[in-house]
């Protein structure tokens, strides 16, 4: 009964809503038990939905492309708000004000994929995000985790972020978000709606060349075509986690249907029959071996969510 008001609102507003939705359909790992309610709003609808959830005390979580997340087999209590329909992106209209000669701002909604963003960068000759090539996430998730690669981090180009805090829209300057290595200080109960990203003007051919170079490099050393959640652990200072895991003999280790990739040891692969329990078990095995042999305590990079 606690979901009745929410369901009625979504139906009345034409918002897509699903009950007992398998999260395995929405994660790159193809793992995850059912969410009580899954909702797919646009940006304007999201604020009202959050107000209803706050008023009724229903727990909720936000999911973008589900690429850096492990959902437990027990599923998720409450509501999952998906940002898939918040996927617009455009160059910011400068109006009567002439933009800085060497920079152009773009506005991207939270659910816009990094691929779509990079395509716009190529089309308009905008540089600053090339190293994020072949990262399969969305703008919102990338900002929360300060996604990066090859010396690039999205936090360095974020001008402002619009987000919902306690059901109200708030704008944060990029300089106030506290970006660090694979982290930010985005409030945990907030929802990113959109971001203004500031990029340098550059020749479109050069932008495309750099993107292709980084993408080719990733394809050669990462199992991008297989079911994974990207890097499982953060890099300890001074050494890649994948190298540490490899040097401690963990490549090829298995638990259930989950295996440490033989191509890149910081990727765990689901062979199609894997579960979250098996994934967590394998994480524990790898962490224990690494700590015993090196003294290094690995810290998860993926987000682990679900019922306890």
Burial class, 236, CB count within 10 angstroms (exposed 0-12 / middle 13-18 / buried 19+): middle
pLDDT digits (tens, 9 = 90+) for 166-215: 888 999 999 999 999 999 999 888 899 999 999 999 999 999 999 999 99
What is the Cβ-side half-sphere exposure of residue 68, based on CA atoms within 13 angstroms? 26
Is the pLDDT score of 96 beyond 50?
no
Task: State residue 289's pLDDT score.
Answer: 98
Average pLDDT, the chain: 94
Is the pLDDT score of 98 beyond 50?
no
**Domains assigned to the chain:** 4-82 (3.30.43.10), 89-221 (3.30.465.10), 241-305 (3.90.78.10)
Task: State residue 95's pLDDT score.
Answer: 53
Return phi, psi of residue 258, to 5°. Answer: -110, 135
pLDDT digits (tens, 9 = 90+) for 204-260: 999 999 999 999 999 999 999 999 999 999 999 889 999 999 999 999 999 999 999
Task: State residue 188's pLDDT score.
Answer: 80
Is the pLDDT score of 263 beyond 80?
yes
- Helix 114-124 with 204-221: angle, nearest 10 deg: 150
Whole-number Å distance between alpha carbons of 168 and 275: 37
What is the Cβ-side half-sphere exposure of residue 304, based on CA atoms within 13 angstroms? 16
Q: What is the mean pLDDT of residues 18-33?
A: 97
Q: What is the mean pLDDT of residues 11-40?
A: 97
Split at pLDDT 50, 70, 90, the class of 100 is low
């Amino acid at each position: 009964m606690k979901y009745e008001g929410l369901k009625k609102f979504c139906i009345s507003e034409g918002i897509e809503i699903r009950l007992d939705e398998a999260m395995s359909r929405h994660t790159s790992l193809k793992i995850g038990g059912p969410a009580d309610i899954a909702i797919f709003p646009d940006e304007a609808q999201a604020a009202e939905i959050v107000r209803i959830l706050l008023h009724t005390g229903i727990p909720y979580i936000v999911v973008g492309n589900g690429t850096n997340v492990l959902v437990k087999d027990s599923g998720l209590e409450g509501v999952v708000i998906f940002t898939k329909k918040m996927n617009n992106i455009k160059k910011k209209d400068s109006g009567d004000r002439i933009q800085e000669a060497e920079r152009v701002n773009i506005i991207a909604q939270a659910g816009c994929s990094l691929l779509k963003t990079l395509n716009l960068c190529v089309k308009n000759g905008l540089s600053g995000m090339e190293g994020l090539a072949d990262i399969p996430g969305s703008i919102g998730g990338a900002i929360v985790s300060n996604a990066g690669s090859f010396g690039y981090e999205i936090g360095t180009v974020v001008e402002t972020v619009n987000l919902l805090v306690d059901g109200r829209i708030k704008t944060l300057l990029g300089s106030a978000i506290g970006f660090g290595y694979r982290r930010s200080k985005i409030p945990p109960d907030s929802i990113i709606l959109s971001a203004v990203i500031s990029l340098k003007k550059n020749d479109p051919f050069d932008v495309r060349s750099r993107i292709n170079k980084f993408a080719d490099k990733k394809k050669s050393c990462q199992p991008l075509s297989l079911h994974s959640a990207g890097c499982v652990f953060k890099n300890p200072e001074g050494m890649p986690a994948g190298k540490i895991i490899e040097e401690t003999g963990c490549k090829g280790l298995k638990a259930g249907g989950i295996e440490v990739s033989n191509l890149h040891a910081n990727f765990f692969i689901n062979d199609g029959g894997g579960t979250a329990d098996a994934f967590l078990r394998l994480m524990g095995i790898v962490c224990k071996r690494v700590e015993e042999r090196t003294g290094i305590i690995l810290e998860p990079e993926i987000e682990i969510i679900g019922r306890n």
